[in-house]
Amino acid sequence: MNNLLSCITDGIRRVAIVGHVRPDGDCAGSVMAAYHYLRDNVPSLEIVPFLQELPYGIRFLVKDCPVRCDDGAGEKFDLVISLDAAAENRIGAGIEAFRACENTVCIDHHQTCTAFGKVNRVEPRASSACEVLYRLMQRDRIGFDTAVCLYTGIIHDTGALRFDNVSPETVMIVSDLIARGIPFTKIIEKSFTEKSLTEMKITGEIIKNSRLFREEHFLYGCCDLEMQKRYGIDPTELGSVVASMNEAREARVVLFMYQFEDGSWKGSLRSKCDVDVAKIALRYGGGGHVKAAGFSFDQDPERAAEEIRKLLPSEEI
Ligand SMILES: [Mn+2]
């Protein structure tokens, strides 16, 4: 598939767009970019974007849009498009709508992606799902709202163009989006840099309690429900903690684990060396990228950290 509009064949009237569980900027950005693009260019379509609740900083992406957060069970769509999800079971809201539909498209950039759609466009070297999606759009058909969503996704998955998933092509795309007059400074500030004071304080406590294994240059920290309650925040407000931990000079691999209301945990991994954290996440049924990956688990976090430490190369200090 080279063109998103080529999916809209005769007889397609009702389209669902879905992303992964616990949506981030690239997931919500790509789902909403596809929504705006199809709505602008095929006004006769009924388009339903599905997204679970978003972290505060990126809620502007769904403002005034008819987004649904249920699983879409029992509903009939002529086409379901999945964005930024590496496997079918990683789809969040709308997963049942996807499963029930014969006509599915999978657009993704994870190296662990299973290409689970009937039609697939997976580019493991692309910075973001938004970058892949941009290439499936016609430049002169991209409207303002679509540009805002695409830009937000690229910024989030590249750490504001700092990560090594940025290619000259990524920068060309950003250049084209900025040329459309989008408020690019404000988007970075509001959705990426800015945090609540509470988020900064809890990050401080997590880092204070974190533990460094010097031989492996492995830093890990965790945040259980008790700590979240004490600060009055939920897991959607912990998205920036792992990036803060990753700034530690002593760390080459970072693990941040946080608990959900049902007692389960999520682990976020980052690497600043040649350790491929996607491979580690895959062992736990997760996935991601070489330098940033995640997984879910139920065991004791200390034990999970110890297991992961044993997978890392160590060296004399
Ligand atoms: Mn992504």
* Ligand 1 centroid – CA 163 distance (Å): 13
* Ligand 1 centroid – CA 315 distance (Å): 33
| For residues 96-114, average pLDDT | 96
pTM given for the model: 0.90
Give the whole-angstrom CA distance, residue 246 versus residue 197. 20
Architecture of domain 4-193: Alpha-Beta Complex (3.90)
Reading the block at residue 178, the tokens are 């900025």
In whole angstroms, how far apart are CA 273 and each of 7, 25, 92, 108, 262? Answer: 40, 25, 31, 24, 34
Q: How confident is the model at residue 287 (pLDDT cuts 50, 70, 90)?
A: confident
Res 317 pLDDT > 70: no
Domain 197-311 has CATH 3.10.310.30: yes
First-last CA distance in the chain = 51
Give the whole-angstrom CA distance, residue 71 versus residue 98. 9
Neighbours of ion ligand 1 (CB under 5 A): 26, 84, 128-129, 157
* Ligand 1 centroid – CA 232 distance (Å): 28
Res 316 pLDDT > 80: no
Mean of pLDDT over the chain? 96
Intervals of CATH 3.10.310.30 along the chain: 197-311
Res 47 pLDDT > 90: yes
The pLDDT of residue 26 is: 98
Q: For 226-259, what is each residue's pLDDT tens digit?
A: 999 999 998 988 989 999 999 999 999 999 999 9
Residue 215 region, left (φ>0) first, then alpha (ψ -120 to 50), else beta?
A: alpha
The pLDDT of residue 193 is: 92
Reading the block at residue 192, the tokens are 């990426």
* Ligand 1 centroid – CA 48 distance (Å): 20
* Ligand 1 centroid – CA 230 distance (Å): 31
Intervals of CATH 3.90.1640.10 along the chain: 4-193
Q: How confident is the model at residue 204 (pLDDT cuts 50, 70, 90)?
A: very high
| For residues 194-209, average pLDDT | 96
The pLDDT of residue 93 is: 98
The pLDDT of residue 265 is: 96
The pLDDT of residue 236 is: 86
